A and B are shown apart, each in its own frame.
Chain A
């Protein structure tokens, strides 16, 4: 298994490649490779669900481009957007947030920053559950918070309780962290992060492939 830092670096290589690609065929191939990778690691379903969310955005983006610069550029730009976000999807699906954070601590990132990064991810489902509960409670009182423009005027009824609870949660979290020794100097880590030979090889090979592809794209 590769070190999280290696994976991050490889994703950045791939992103550079995508950004540098200006032709429809190349982009399609790059995206196709990502698709293949996602299928191989068995995350096809998750990817599809995520794509369904992203697709309208890419479409909108493409439409704007079409209108402003033309068809060809629009297709290329939308494809770029899809491939680029897919590259980072592949990265995040294979890397646990705390692994990324803690391995970055080893190369000088403050622990507090790494902690915020990984913990924020952990609380996304908690906050969305709270949002659901607020919606239910308000709708049960007859406040129409169904999706749609007409409910916009009632949005304080949704945002108010949600925000206040998010602050409360943050306060309680801070207290619990403090009570469990957060901020004591000389912290140790359960997992070790080492750049092994495989990592260096992957970093080197990736760089080589990136440069070759960039040169090839210039020619064809």
Chain B
């Protein structure tokens, strides 16, 4: 036991509300004090639950039945309190809103130190040291809730780091971050790891993490199904566990490279081929169906809020059957633009016409017939007792109730087994599916989805991709707002690249990504698929070697 800092021994756990279902089953795991570990698995596989046993939240904060033991630094967690364990195992939660509760960043960082009863002079010193190390000095006097999502994630990490725990556990730290912010947080974690700290990350999006970690543990239905170094584990077929192998590793596997490349630069260095296996090249959509009629026209739209211009001079159009993706970094103005489609926001300048109707002169409830929007957080809309009522309500209120269409939607989104359950008891992915079906219930001309894939696993992305393909075939126009470029690459005919409230590029996904300057300006990075296959567009297409 000397070499491991956290050790679980035949760990089993079942939440109080579902006693017969074991969230964790027979988990034997050792984590070294300076290890960088990835705990991965699809939604509901038990990774968050496992992490909550490391700092005693399970069994002390959550009721339920725990069997087996968890040892931290040689002592069982059952005999210790969560507050006591916090000095050894720090935890960063997914929701920054809830874990930042002080008025300034300085007080936020001080909070845990104050809890530990550290003398005042030392608190000051620790804050200064940690903040300097992470380079966020300028945040100290600011209110955490006014920071951007990426900055909040950094502050959450610093607040934990300051107490100097041996291991920091992070629950899906990248779920709501765009590329640039993911990069910042990754750099911070790598630096912390270099200082002999242990880091445990819970994630299901592998491409962002496998390159950093020393070992990965995969969970499925509460069991450990994968355990080993990334280059070993990724040799296996992990799609069966709803995990996504990074494209570079898939190509490396097919090319039988001796060392599995975990990211694109490594692959390009190890195998500088002009062309990579074509069967792994993603299928992109053919160009926009031209000639079909316009359903949305946006002309020179600007939007001001408290004298700040959030949108500047935006013009574009959407046609029947087209899938348009508005891509951009966190805070680029994507959601603000989305809210203009149905009149929730009205342009300060310019005009928006939906089916020829000026949105400035129409009521939201009128426009709702034409534009069905599903916002990022489905919890914002659930108030009915069953899923079936929740899907129907919009169509009922708008007087567009069509039973057979609703049945079709239920079928399409695979909601049949859930119809009589309460929407609040569903998993995150199931909730999203209900919200999407609800948005389509009144047969809108445009379906608008706000960050549909944020925090969702491979299985969800696959299902949503199939649904969108089906809708496209039916001629449904889709307006997608996202920073998930690999999803948008496969699902959209056309991209609008939004940066600081302006459209700085408009074209097919690969046309947009081909301009490295505008991508940098928008704080986005091209997808792996584009980096590996995008160059072929302009050059000759060579056969698989």
Q: Interface of A with B (CB < 8 Å)?
A: 96-98, 118-119, 121-123, 125-126, 130, 133-134, 136-144, 146, 156-157, 160-161, 164-165, 168-169, 172-190, 192
* Contact across chains for B383 and A157 when beta carbons are under 8 A apart: yes
| B82 in complex: contacting residue of A121, A137, A168, A179, CB < 8 Å | A179
Q: Which residues of A contact B145 (CB under 8 A)?
A: 122, 125-126
Q: Which residues of A contact B99 (CB under 8 A)?
A: 172-173, 176, 180
* Contact across chains for B82 and A178 when beta carbons are under 8 A apart: yes
* Contact across chains for B84 and A184 when beta carbons are under 8 A apart: yes
Question: Interface residue tally of chain B, by bracket?
Answer: 35 or more
Q: A118-B103, A125-B145, A126-B97 are in contact. Are A139 and B115 (CB under 8 A)?
A: no
Q: A188-B119, A190-B107, A190-B110 are in contact. Are A176 and B101 (CB under 8 A)?
A: yes
Interface string of B77-113 (1 = CB under 8 A from A): 0000111101100110101011101110011001111
* Contact across chains for A141 and B116 when beta carbons are under 8 A apart: no
Residue of B nearest to A98 (CB): B103
* Contact across chains for B57 and A165 when beta carbons are under 8 A apart: no
Q: Which residues of A contact B124 (CB under 8 A)?
A: 190
Ordered by A's residue number, 27 sampled pairs between the chains whose C-beta atoms are within 8 Å are A97-B103, A134-B381, A136-B344, A136-B380, A137-B377, A140-B439, A141-B393, A141-B397, A142-B368, A143-B394, A165-B379, A165-B380, A169-B97, A172-B95, A172-B99, A173-B101, A177-B101, A178-B57, A179-B55, A180-B99, A180-B112, A180-B159, A181-B87, A181-B112, A183-B115, A189-B114, A190-B114
Q: What's the nearest-Cβ distance from chain B to residue A102, in Å?
A: 9
* Contact across chains for B377 and A122 when beta carbons are under 8 A apart: no
Residue of A nearest to B118 (CB): A188
* Contact across chains for A176 and B114 when beta carbons are under 8 A apart: no
Q: Which of B101, B102, B379 has the most chain A CB atoms inside 10 A of its CB? A: B101
Supply 10 further A-B pairs (C-beta < 8 A) apart from A96-B103, A179-B82, A192-B120: A118-B103, A122-B102, A133-B375, A134-B380, A140-B375, A141-B438, A143-B393, A176-B101, A181-B87, A190-B120
* Contact across chains for B380 and A161 when beta carbons are under 8 A apart: yes
Q: Which residues of A contact B123 (CB under 8 A)?
A: 188, 190
A122 to B111, CA, bound (A): 14
Q: What's the nearest-Cβ distance from chain B to residue A69, in Å?
A: 43
A125 to B439, CA, bound (A): 28
B442 interface residue per 8 A CB criterion: yes
Q: Which of B61, B377, B381 has the most chain A CB atoms inside 10 A of its CB? A: B381
Q: A133-B380, A141-B394 are in contact. Are A178 and B61 (CB under 8 A)?
A: yes
Q: Which residues of A contact B159 (CB under 8 A)?
A: 180
* Contact across chains for B101 and A179 when beta carbons are under 8 A apart: no
A142 to B399, CA, bound (A): 10
